[in-house]
Amino acid sequence: MTPLVFIATVLYLVATGLLVGSVARQGRPAHGWLLPAGGAVAAHAMYHVLVATRTAGGPDMHFFAALSLVGLGMAALTTLVGGRGRMAALGVVVFPLATLLLLAYHGHGHEPSAALGWRLEVHAWLALLAYATLAIAALLAMMLWLQERALRRRDFHRWLRALPPLTELETLLFRTIAVGFALLSLTLLTGLLFVEDFFAQRLMQKTVLSVLSWLAFGALLVGRWRYGWRGTKAVHWTLAAMGLLLLAFFGSKFVLELIRGVQPA
């Protein structure tokens, strides 16, 4: 294990432990987790930069690398947003997940990447940002569902105090979806402009599923604006749309790279 991976792993776990401990004691996260979380994100990012400088073809965008980058994006967003409010509770899930994805990438090893050119690199980075943002939205949706369920059953557990009020959590969910939807729109637009041959690059299934996910997120935002959708309906639409997005990118990469042994251009 390289020093950067070791440092990131330790700091992610320290941040998680501090979050869990502060919630258990106070019912809401203190701010002591921010420093180790920020350090973990920095070490995680530096590891990918180091790999990019030592691997032919530029940044590694293979299956495990992409997973690790999405985990990095989720951890960075959690640190930025959590430092300004009570969304730090996300870190209890996000930081261990980022750790596992980083360790999986490091353990799998690094492979030379095809040179993408700046246009396709822009497209790829937009896609990873969109996936990270919408994955955070999916976690928020699950937290919203758990909070509503606990309140209906009058199970006033300590962890409820670590979350924002229900209306604030719901507002944050839709703001996150709106940002992710904009990023996903840019991803599809740059794909349309920069990818030359969908069939030759085996991208048709990925594109169809991505468009379906985009339509589902768009329908949810319209439903929220026009009909006031909220609660369980919002949760179901968010998770369904995120499921399509996971199948679009990571499902297709898993089949192509790990099962069929094809390295997409």
Q: What is the pLDDT of residues 24-54, one digit of tens each?
A: 665 555 678 899 999 999 999 999 988 888 7
Angle at 18 between CA 12 and CA 19, to 5 degrees: 90
Percent of the chain with pLDDT over 90: 41
pLDDT of residue 265: 44
Kindly list the distances between the CA atom of residue 159 and the CA atoms of 87, 110, 136, 143, in Å, as whole numbers in the listed order: 12, 39, 19, 11
pLDDT of residue 165: 77
pLDDT of residue 209: 85
pLDDT of residue 264: 47
**28 within 8 A of 22, measured Cβ to Cβ:** yes
Calculate the average pLDDT of the chain: 83
Q: Identify residue 7 by its one-letter amino acid code.
A: I
Q: Identify residue 157 by its one-letter amino acid code.
A: H
3-state secondary structure of 203: coil
Maximum Cα interatomic distance, the chain, rounded to a whole number of Å: 57
Query: Domain locations in the chain?
Result: 1-115, 117-265
pLDDT of residue 195: 73
**176 within 8 A of 137, measured Cβ to Cβ:** yes
Could you list the beta-strand ranges (E) of 7-159. Answer: none
Helices (runs of H) and strands (runs of E) counted in the chain: 9, 0
pLDDT of residue 61: 75
> What integer is the mean pLDDT of 188-206?
72
> What integer is the mean pLDDT of 148-170?
74
3-state secondary structure of 153: coil
> What integer is the mean pLDDT of 219-238?
91
**75 within 8 A of 12, measured Cβ to Cβ:** yes
Cβ partners under 8 Å of residue 262, min gap 6: 202, 256
Residue whose tokens read 């330790």: 10
Length of the chain: 265
d(CA 217, CA 37): 30
> Would you state the structure tokens that stand for residue 21, as one six-digit string?
């401990």
The pTM of this model reads: 0.88
